[in-house]
Amino acid sequence: MSRASDVRLDLAGTVTGLRRMAPLCLFVVIFGLAFGVAALSHGLSGLEAVLMSALVFAGASQFAALELWGAEIPLLPLIAITFAINARHLLMGAAIQPWLSHLPAGQRYASVVLMSDSNWAMAAADYHSGKTNVGMLVGGGIALWAAWVAGTLLGVVFGSGITQPERFGLDVIMGCFLLAMLVGGRRDLTILLPWTAAALAALAAMTWLPPHSHVIVGALAGGLAGLLLPGPREPAS
């Protein structure tokens, strides 16, 4: 474990983090490109799509939010979806809090501004191997952010030339992306119980409840079903 007095955030560590994340950025550019194309086909302007990538910087929730875009944007479902999809950040932040707690509060809350799955994973590995430089989290985040925004910009530029996205199957990018993210993170089959609950609740809500409520209803149903699962790691702590 890291020695408290040594934990720090500096420029050299940040540059190292940037460099270590660079290979992954190529893929992030392609995902960003897909988001740019999907955003245009859901009625966002190019500027709005790029701004969303720059300010929100959370792929899955951005794709999911597109589903709500229309002549009007329903506010509560938007907030609920964004929160629910990104709620995993709460756990990620909690997991590295003992590491970040040695930084001054300003640096601590600034260093999580660009926290996302991959730079967090590498930073958490650094933490557990006893490294004392938080630069991986920040530098990796900057690299991912730049790639995501650049990718979105490319998607907006090239996507605007495509007049019939559904003809090329581009309208399904969002669904495919979300499904890939969903399947990619999981190994044990017990998660199928909350997922089934979520699917059934979402379909039921779509039939009987107001429009756009199905995502919230499904997410809550899945979360509650998750409480029924036995704790995988802690037997009776």
Is residue 29 a contact point for other proteins (CB under 8 A)? no
Instruction: Choose between 104 and 234: whose C-beta lies nearer to other proteins.
Output: 234
> What residues are paired with 133 via a beta bridge?
8
- Out of 125, 172, 208, 210, the only residue in the binding site for other proteins (CB under 8 A) is 172
Instruction: Choose between 22 and 56: whose C-beta lies nearer to other proteins.
Output: 56
- What's the sign of the alpha-carbon dihedral 219, 45, 143, 97? negative
DSSP one-letter string for 189-228: GGGHHHHHHHHHHHHHHHHHS-TT-HHHHHHHHHHHHHHH
Three-state DSSP state, 103: coil
Q: Tokens 């017990």 appear where?
A: 190
Instruction: Choose between 12 and 185: whose C-beta lies nearer to other proteins.
Output: 185
Is residue 21 a contact point for other proteins (CB under 8 A)? no
Rounded CA gap, 206 and 97, in Å?
Answer: 39
The site string for other proteins over 116-155 (x = CB under 8 A, - otherwise) reads ----------------------------------------
Label residues 23-49 b or e (16+ Cβ within 10 Å = b). eebeebbebbbbbbbbbbbbebebeeb
Is residue 82 a contact point for other proteins (CB under 8 A)? yes
Instruction: Choose between 142 and 197: whose C-beta lies nearer to other proteins.
Output: 197
- Out of 23, 106, 184, 189, the only residue in the binding site for other proteins (CB under 8 A) is 184
| Window of 9-17, 100-108, 127-135, 145-153 that interacts with other proteins by CB under 8 A | 100-108
Give the CB-side neighbour count of residue 85, counting CA atoms within 13 A: 20
Instruction: Choose between 12 and 190: whose C-beta lies nearer to other proteins.
Output: 190
Is residue 79 a contact point for other proteins (CB under 8 A)? yes
Instruction: Choose between 12 and 224: whose C-beta lies nearer to other proteins.
Output: 224
- Out of 7, 18, 29, 60, the only residue in the binding site for other proteins (CB under 8 A) is 60
Query: Please, are residues 4 and 123 in contact by the beta-carbon 8 Å criterion?
Result: no
Is residue 204 a contact point for other proteins (CB under 8 A)? no
